[in-house]
Amino acid sequence: YYNENTILYFNGEYLKATEAKIDLYGQSLHYGYAVFEGIRAYKTESGEVKIFKAKEHFDRFKRSCELIHMPYEFNNDELIAACYKVLELNNMTEAYIRPLAICPPNMTLKAAEETHVLICAWEWGAYLGEKLLRVMLSSYQRPNPKAFKIESKSAGLYVNSILASQEAKSKGFDEALLLDIEGFVAEGPGANLFYEKDGTIYTPAPGNILPGITRATVIEICHELGIPLVEKQITVAELEQADAVFYCGTAAEVVGWDSFNNKGFAKPWAQSLGKVIQQAYKAKVLEKEFDRAAIPA
């Protein structure tokens, strides 16, 4: 992720990653009381480096902090400019950008009085790989919305994601699917879910999921391409009957499923609407024209 030349942003300064320091006596480290974002920059068709949906990511960063009472006194345009500066200082054109909000030293369970921001970046290929995913139903649920602000992209929540990923990998799968506390389909450890059935695309309604920026982009693409889209509560039985399924997220982008609990789907991925959406997504992030003729009849 970094070497002796890597530069990061911390609290208004640009520092060497090997020299930047944080205090070890803090709530962020001890209690997972921190907020982060995951953003990607692409070298677009024109050659210009662009951070995809930077405003949306920093709006969520702010909302995530406010939801868990971390004071947010930052100007998002300045933080976005800092992201571009970090890319420039590290000579990066395609990169994953990680803003992290942490608290100064304090070992109590009181809400933070101050927030510090780190922004670092590294080159990261497709997070879940290029291959279709073999997914299993996790024995872990997504956290209860009454126990946590689940729409806040908070660090502590990600122990749940690590447990679900580890379980899936230990059983020979690529990835997990988690249900919500009511037993409906929620999301993956780091991605939102969509499936296709009879020409319509379905996705879990907000409430028990992270409101993904990629999810919003996929919805936007469906509207642009005239693909019918429904947001609703989804049962496991409905998902098992899907024609095709995919996950999406900033790190993972759009990635199709090979199977769910070792059972395949009716449509080959290459002929699915998900494949079209995957290409449209790629075109969008690269600011390329997208050929609508690619939509299967």
Instruction: List contacts with ligand PMP (CB under 6 A).
Output: 38, 161, 187, 190-192, 210, 212-215, 249-250
Give the shortest CB-213-to-ligand PMP separation in angstroms. 4
Confirm if 46 and 52 have CB atoms less than 8 A apart.
no
Q: Which residues pair with 255 in a beta bridge?
A: 247
Nearer to ligand PMP, 37 or 196 (CB): 37
Shortest CB 118 distance to ligand PMP, Å: 17
The token duo for 88 is: 């420039």
Closest to ligand PMP by CB, 26 or 190: 190
Pairing of strands 253-260, 244-249: antiparallel
Of 224, 220, 225, 260, whose CA–CA distance to 244 is shortest?
Answer: 260
Nearer Cβ to ligand PMP, position 7 or 52? 52
Between CA 228 and CA 201 the distance in angstroms is: 6
Write down the residue that tokens 């992720």 correspond to.
1
Instruction: Decide whether 175 or 187 has the Cβ nearer to ligand PMP.
Output: 187
Q: Which amino acid is at 80?
A: I
Residue closer to ligand PMP, measured from CB, 20 or 119: 119
Residue 189 CB burial class (10 angstroms; 0-12, 13-18, ≥19): buried
Residues annotated catalytic, as ranges: 153
**Closest CB 64 distance from ligand PMP, rounded Å:** 10
Least gap, CB of 215 to ligand PMP (angstroms):
6
* Shortest separation between residue 255's beta carbon and ligand PMP, angstroms: 12
Q: What's the Cα-to-Cα distance from 141 to each of 91, 96, 163, 211, 243, rounded to whole Å? A: 40, 28, 10, 17, 25
State the Cα–Cα distance between residues 130 and 83, nearest whole angstrom.
27
> Measured between alpha carbons, how far is 74 from 91 in angstroms, rounded to an integer?
25
Q: Are 190 and 161 in contact (CB under 8 A)?
A: yes
